[in-house]
Amino acid sequence: MKKCLRCKHNNNDENNYCIKCGAPLKNVCTNVRCPNWENNNQLPDEAAFCPLCGSETLFKTYGLASSSLDIKDEDLPF
């Protein structure tokens, strides 16, 4: 199961978009010329920008990437 970041609905793992609200469930690069996009590589949920090309991720365009907003000091590994 994959929980929607927007509405918290539990979707099937194979779903690319939430069946309840249409939000993307898999974070991918939005740059069609990027190797990550060509290979359909999934990026971390918290990724706001693609690590390879610097383009906005799909989650970022939907306002779902948490970026720095939800990161607390205790969540950092160091």
Among 2, 15, 17, 34, binds Zn ion (CB under 5 A): 34
Among 25, 27, 28, 36, binds Zn ion (CB under 5 A): 36
DSSP at 17 = B
Supply the minimum distance, in Å, between the C-beta of residue 6 and Zn ion.
5
Residue 56: CB atoms within 10 Å = 16
Task: Check: CB of residue 18 under 8 Å from CB of residue 4.
Answer: yes
Q: Closer to Zn ion by CB, 2 or 52: give it.
A: 52
Supply the minimum distance, in Å, between the C-beta of residue 17 and Zn ion.
8
Task: Check: CB of residue 69 under 8 Å from CB of residue 49.
Answer: no
Among 3, 10, 21, 67, binds Zn ion (CB under 5 A): 21
